[in-house]
Amino acid sequence: MDRELALELVRITEKAAVASGRWMGLGMKNEADGAAVDAMRKAFDKVAVSGLVVIGEGEMDEAPMLYIGEEVGLGGPEIDIAVDPVEGTNLIAKGLPGSIAVMAIAPRGCLLNAPDMYMEKLCVGHRGKGRIDIAAPVRQNVLRVADAMNRDVKDMVVVILDRERHESIIREVRDTGARVKLISDGDVSPAVSVGIEGSGVHMLIGTGGAPEGVIAAAALKCLGGDMQARLWPENDDDIERAKKMGITDVKKILTIDDMVKGDEAFFVGTAITQCDFLEPVRYFKGGARTNSVVMRASTGTVRFIDAIHRFNAQAVSVRFK
C-alpha cells in the first residue's frame, strides 16, 4: 500500500460525512446512517483495491451494503477494511458533538475480525505507551500515565462513556484527582483524541463496542499510542460468535498489535459534527466544507485535510428531498 492511497481513502469518508450531515439534528439516526453507508459503498467502486470488509454494518443477512465479508474496490492491493460510516448515530440525530465517519485499512489478515459485542478498552497517546495494564486497578493506570506524561494527576482528563456500568471506574478516576469527561455515545473520536497532542484529553477507559475498538486501535497505532482491550461477552451467544470469528480465548488481553498487526495500517476520519480535533461538515449554497484526518502507521504521518466540495445542481436538489 502506498501513500497515494491515502487521498483516495479520505474521499470515501468525506462522501459519507457530507451525505449524512444533512440529517444532523433531525432525530433520524437510521436515515443518517443509511445515507452514509450508501455514499461510502459507492465511493469504494472507484478505488483501486481488492478490499474485504472485516468490520462493517453487520452480517450479510443484516446489512445490504458494507456487510462483513463483502468485497469492494476495483482490484489492486488485497486489504482488510474496517468501516463505521457514522460513528455516533445518536449524536448526529441529536446534533451533538463527536459523530464521525471513520475507516481503517491494513494488508489482508492484519485487522482483528472483532465480533459485534462489548469490549473493555484502555487507550493512551504516545507518552503513555508501555505504561498501561488493563488488568491493573484504574488508579494505578491513571497515576502511571500521569507520571509518563510528566503531568500532575489533577491535570489529567479521562474520557468515559456515561453508563451505569462505569460508575465504579468514574469514581476511581475521580478519587485520583484526575478529571472525567463523560460522553453519551461514540468512543472512536475520543480514543483518537488521546493520541493527538493538544486535544485536551489524555486517556480513555471503559467498555464500548468491539468493532469500534479495532478502528480506534488502528488510529492509535498510526499515532504511536497504545491500547489494551478485552472482550466482554454478555452471554453464551457472544462467546460462540467470537469463536466463529476465530477468537478462541475471549478472556485474552488484546494488545494493539493483536488488533492491528504490522505497521502498514491507515486510519481516515471525517467529522460530521464537532470533534475534539476536527471541525464539522458545514454546508453553503452549492457545496460543503469538510475537515478530515488521514494517518499512516509506517511513517507516522498525520495529515489534516480542509476541503471544499462543490455540488452540481442535480446533486443539491436530491440531497434536499
pLDDT tens digit at each of 321 positions of the chain: 677 788 899 999 999 999 999 999 999 999 999 999 999 999 999 999 999 999 998 776 677 899 999 999 999 999 999 999 999 999 999 999 999 999 999 999 999 998 889 999 999 999 999 999 999 999 999 999 999 999 999 999 999 999 999 999 999 999 999 999 999 999 999 999 999 998 999 999 999 999 999 999 999 999 999 999 999 999 998 888 888 888 888 999 999 999 999 999 999 999 999 998 999 999 999 999 999 999 999 999 999 999 999 987 444 333 433
Q: Is 300 helix (H, G, I), strand (E, B) or coil?
A: coil
d(C-alpha 284, C-alpha 181), whole Å: 32
Whether 20 and 106 map to the same domain: the answer is yes
Question: Residue 46 region, left (φ>0) first, then alpha (ψ -120 to 50), else beta?
Answer: alpha
Q: Say whether both 247 and 122 belong to one domain.
A: yes
Name the nearest CA neighbour of 75 among 105, 53, 106, 52.
52
Name 31's Cβ contacts closer than 8 Å, sequence gap at least 6: 23
Distances (CA, A) of 192 to 43, 102, 133, 166, 276: 24, 11, 19, 20, 9
- Domain span including residue 293: 4-110+265-319
Asked whether residue 134 falls in the same domain as residue 173, the answer is yes
Q: Rounded CA gap, 298 and 289, in Å? A: 29
Q: Do 125 and 255 belong to one domain?
A: yes
Q: Are residues 199 and 160 in the same domain?
A: yes
**Based on the domain organization, do 99 and 125 belong to the same domain?**
no
C-alpha–C-alpha distance, residues 175 and 167, integer Å = 12
CATH of the domain at 143: 3.40.190.90
Element (H, E) at 34: helix 29-44
Q: Do residues 59 and 185 both lie within one domain?
A: no
Domain final residue pick, 259, 287, 308? 259
What CATH number should be reported for the domain holding residue 95? Answer: 3.30.540.10
- Listed residues 213, 235, 259: the one ending a domain: 259
Same domain? 277 vs 194:
no
**Final residue of a domain: which of 259, 293, 310?**
259
Does residue 175 share a domain with residue 47? no
For residue 306, give the nearest of 276, 282, 285 by alpha carbon: 282
CA–CA distance from 239 to each of 122, 144, 146 (Å)?
A: 21, 32, 35
Instruction: Of 49, 40, 55, give the one whose Cα is nearest residue 72.
Output: 49
The residues near 2 (Cβ < 8 Å, ≥ 6 apart) are none
Q: Are strands 157-161 and 301-310 parallel, antiparallel or unpaired?
A: unpaired
Distance CA 142, CA 195 (A): 15
Residues 125, 251, single domain; the answer is yes
Angle between helices 4-21 and 29-44 (to 10 degrees): 150
* 238 and 143 within one domain: yes
For the chain, what is the domain count?
2
Say if residue 10 is in the same domain as residue 77: yes
